[in-house]
Structure formats: C-alpha cells, structure tokens
Amino acid sequence: MPGRSVWVLVLALALPSNGQQHLEEAKRIMTTTPVIDGHNDLPWQLLQRFNNQLMLPAANLTLLNSTHTNIPKLRQGHVGGQFWSVYVPCETQNKDAVKRTLEQMDVVQRMCDLYPDTFACVTDSNGVREAFQSGKVASLIGVEGGHSIDSSLGVLRTLYRLGARYMTLTHSCNTPWADNWLVDTEEEKPVHHGLSPFGKRVVEEMNRLGMIVDLAHVSVDTMKVVLNISKAPVIFSHSSAYSICPHRRNVPDDVLQLVASTDSLVMVNFYNAYVTCSSTATLSDVADHMDYVKKVAGAKAVGFGGDYDGVPGVPTGLEDVSKYPALVAELLARNWTEEEVKWALAENLLRVFSKVEEVKKSLQGTAALEMPIAFEELEGTCRTSYGYSKGAGTARAPSAALALPLALLLSVLR
C-alpha cells in the first residue's frame, strides 16, 4: 500500500493549483464581462506596415502575428471592447494632422467592414453592451492628441460626428491651448499652466457633444484644471500610478484623489517604462499599479489601458492582448472580489461613458461654441486667415485702455 507521502503527492498533482483556479475563474468572469481596453495602437501599425492597405495578404488580421494584436489573440484575451487609437505624430501638427487623423479613423471603420464577425463599430454605451451580447469586439475611436483638431471646434465636432468618442487633449507636445506632460520635466517649460481660455472651451464643447475627455499625456496642471471644470467624468486612457513609478506620464496621488471625487477613471498602462521606470517589468508589477489606484482612488477608478502596439516593451506575462485573463487571475489572487474585477474590466468605463452621455443629454438645446481661437495663438506658416480681421485676431471687445476714449468719441458724435 502506498505510503502517506505518496498519496499527498498524488492529490497535489490531481488538484488544480491556486494559480490555475484563479485563471479559470478569470476566464469564467470574462465570459460575461469581457475587458474594455482604453488604448490600442493597431491602426498605427497598419499604417506603418501596410500604408493602411488592409486587403494586402500580409495585413490579414486573422493571420498577422508580428503585432501585439490580432483576431485570435483578441479572442483568447476575452476582449469585448477596444478604444482604437487614431494616433498621428506630433510632427503632423500645423501640417496634415487632420487629414492623417481622418485616414486613421477610416482604417478603424474598414476593420469593422472587413471583419464583421469580429468587430462592431459602436458610438455609445448601449452599443458596447450589444456587442458584448453578440460576442463581438465593440470598436470605438479615440483621438490621441489635440493637435488632431488643429485648434478648431468645427473639426472637433466633425470628428465626433464621424465616430470619435474620446480625445486625448495632448500627445507628447503642447497644442496652442494645452500643456503636455513634458512641461513637468526639464525638457520643456509650461506655456498655458494647464489650459488656455480656448482650451477650456474645447473641454466645454466636448462635454456638450458627449465626447470623453482623456488626460493621458497631459501635464499635472492640465489634469487638475480639467478635473475641476469638466461637467462629466474623465478618463486617463493609458496611464499608471506616479507613486509606484515616478514617470511624468503617470498620475500623482493628489490627482488620483480628484479622480475619485469626480467618479473618473485611470486605465492602467502596461508600458514597461511607465510600470517600473525601467526597460523590464512583469505582470505582477502592473497589478501593483492597479492595487495602488484602487487603494487611493477606489475600486471604481481602475481600468485597463494596455497601450498594446504603441510601445516597444511590455511586461513578462502580458506579451500581447491574449494575456488579459492572466492579469485578472493575479487580481483575484490578491483578493479582489468578483464585483471589483468586473468594475475594472468593463463596468467602470461603461459608467463613465454613460455619465458623459447623461451630461450631453442635460445640455441638449445648448448652442455649439463658436468663438474660434485667436489667429495669433495659432502656429505654422501654411495658414490662411479667412474669417479673421486684418489684425489677424478674433473679434473682441476693445481693451480697457481704449474704452474711455471711445466712449467720449461716441458721446460727441451723438
């Protein structure tokens, strides 16, 4: 008869490990509540590799395997919703940023057209839930950088009508109306100390439209200004916790507290440089950021913002979009409840999205903002000045220094 130690070994081999149990539990949860990720740069990869020619055999999203993202990996990762970034580089600012952005939006739409069994292009929170029910990846468009609107409220409105549902106010460059994260380093100096008056109008118009404001990439002052003036909750679509990794792309504690008080959301980034402030990281390190955001801002302030296909280094254990269940398993191992996991996977983002839609509804009947940015605040030499006065500025009230002489002149002429 086998000894006691032999039976213990047999039982240990027969029973699933805690890790395997957590992974199976993660997959069970994600069957009904799949992950909505805040930021994926596959469209940029399609431009870089194929010049947006999706019909090329090498661009087949079922077979493409040199990217973090393809259709089989999305299925394995239980991805139910994705904000596809329509990123265009800062070097396009004051040049062809609007054209380039439209082309990247077109790529996302054509992904949905070419793979209708996988992708469903949606524009509201109900559309996301319907995509969940049909087993498709709800595909949403995120504009990554305010330079994509070329300082035009008309372009902002048009991008919204074409399907854009969030806009990151800056990328890693200032716009004429908002400061980016580099002003918090020695590389750049603050220009606006957050937002200019026109930048505040951009946020106001986004609230009116029902477009989510994204604060990834912006300066700390910009974060604070927006969190104090936005009528709707905001997101950080791909940022992590500054106290864990003191990189200026990450969110400091005082801002996390504002996130909590405004029911906003931090979707944790997987880029090694933002996770450990080094070239290497692990899945556990990402979970540390999620734990920290949960600790400071609450479980309803945490989400997933992998930044896949937009960064050169991702953590061991999170090599591509198929690995989300492994991260969820780690959260379960850290005693996150099933409810908390579901919040982070999808419900937190859907709550923010729904609230943005509610604010839009409350502002129905409010006129679109029309005052353009002052011409002298624009940059770049390839511009016309149609609509502006000969002085190249917007129509404005006379200065205080001129007000009294003008009043006296008018009294004489009466």
Identify residue 137 by its one-letter amino acid code: V
Catalytic residue among 22, 68, 78, 171: 171
| Residue 256 to residues 178, 187, 199, 259, 301, Cα–Cα distance (Å) | 20, 25, 22, 5, 9
Element spanning 304, H or E:
strand 302-304
**Is 41 noted as a catalytic residue in this protein?**
yes
Q: Using CA atoms, how far apart are residues 180 and 82, in angstroms rounded to an integer?
A: 24
**Is 171 noted as a catalytic residue in this protein?**
yes
| Closest C-alpha among 75, 61, 86, 82 to residue 128 | 82
Instruction: Return the DSSP state at 90.
Output: G
Angle formed at CA 365 by CA 395 and CA 223, multiple of 5 degrees: 70
Catalytic residue among 184, 214, 285, 307: 307
Q: Using CA atoms, how far apart are residues 79 and 320, in angstroms rounded to an integer?
A: 12
**Where does 91-239 have alpha helices with state H?**
97-114, 125-134, 153-161, 197-209, 220-229
Catalytic residue among 147, 217, 247, 289: 217
**Is 307 noted as a catalytic residue in this protein?**
yes
| Closest C-alpha among 341, 245, 211, 270 to residue 40 | 270
Catalytic residue among 37, 68, 78, 144: 144
Catalytic residue among 22, 39, 247, 289: 39
**Is 39 noted as a catalytic residue in this protein?**
yes
Catalytic residue among 37, 41, 150, 285: 41
Catalytic residue among 78, 147, 192, 238: 238
**Is 192 noted as a catalytic residue in this protein?**
no
Tokens of 33: 């509540």
Active site residues: 39, 41, 144, 171, 217, 238, 307
